[in-house]
Amino acid sequence: MTYYIVDGTEESFYTAVFEAYNDRDCIITSERSVQLGLGFEVKDVATDGQKAARVRAKLNELDGGAEEDISLLLRSNHALKENVAFEYIKLIVAHKGAVRAMLANPVVIEMTEIRTRVFYEVHRLKGLLRFMENADGVLYAPYSPDNDITDILARHFAARFSSKKFVIHDVKRKRAALFDGNEIVITYADSADIYLSEYEAYFENLWRQYYNSVNIASRPHIKQMKGYMPVRYWKFLPEKKVK
């Protein structure tokens, strides 16, 4: 059994697919802490743009939507995400075309479940991300998502706030998307010192006030609230922060 170790980027993954394709007994993974036994071999994949491009071209020829599926899969926090993506590509090649409608196939079921989880977190955070305005009018949103989705969210907010500058900061992965009104740049970002606008506290308070008054207190249904808005997201929500 051979482990193809990739660095987490799409290019690295597609290079590994190229190299591992004819290897009948292998796993592609970005997990560094693999448990090795006898007869196990580890290959560090060196990203090769040409190899990756050939895999992408073939994939696009067979199914125009597969790259998008895989792009979402690879953002997941699922431990075997690369390998599920690899199996998915093999299935597409075997069937010479799109397979995502084969909803009873185990590979498609697994792919769909991981993809849906990423997709759903994106959707959820389009609503739950909270911006603060700093003294220069730049919007800053720290958060800590399960999956690596900062660039997707940045595209959503760039379309929405085209006249604003903003920063979306994944504090867990130490990555940030910066939007200057023109383009999005993804960068390493550790911690940030933010000087808030003088109105920030005022609007945060009004929002808390609104949140409390729009609730129908006599009709509690905490379980449903937590189902839609899991507690792990609360620490970045002004309406849920303990004051």
Name the residue type at position 202. Y
Distance between CA atoms of residues 19 and 21, nearest Å:
6
Q: Does 129 bind other proteins (CB under 8 A)?
A: yes
The smaller minimum CB distance to other proteins, of residues 11 and 238, is found at 238
Residue 162's alpha-carbon distances to 13, 53, 85, 179, 181, in angstroms, are: 33, 32, 34, 9, 6
Among 224, 231, 242, 243, binds other proteins (CB under 8 A): 224
Q: Would you call 232 helix, strand, or coil by DSSP?
A: helix
Q: Does 201 bind other proteins (CB under 8 A)?
A: no
Give the contact letters, 161-180, x = binds to other proteins (CB under 8 A), - = no.
xxxx----------------
Q: Does 242 bind other proteins (CB under 8 A)?
A: no
Pairing of strands 132-133, 166-170: unpaired
Q: Which stretch binds other proteins (CB under 8 A): 33-41, 95-103, 171-179, 182-190?
A: 95-103
CB 156 within 8 A of CB 140: no
Q: Does 206 bind other proteins (CB under 8 A)?
A: yes
Pairing of strands 41-44, 2-5: parallel
The total of other beta-carbon atoms located within 10 Å of residue 12's CB is 23
Which two structure tokens, joined as six digits, stand for 219? 């009709």
Q: Which stretch binds other proteins (CB under 8 A): 32-40, 69-77, 125-133, 185-193?
A: 125-133
Among 94, 217, 231, 242, binds other proteins (CB under 8 A): 217
Looking only at residues 98 through 117 of this chain, which bind other proteins when binding is defined by CB under 8 A?
101-106, 109
Q: Which residues bind other proteins (CB under 8 A)?
A: 101-106, 109, 123, 126-133, 139, 141, 157, 159-164, 199, 202-207, 209-211, 213-225, 228-229, 237, 239
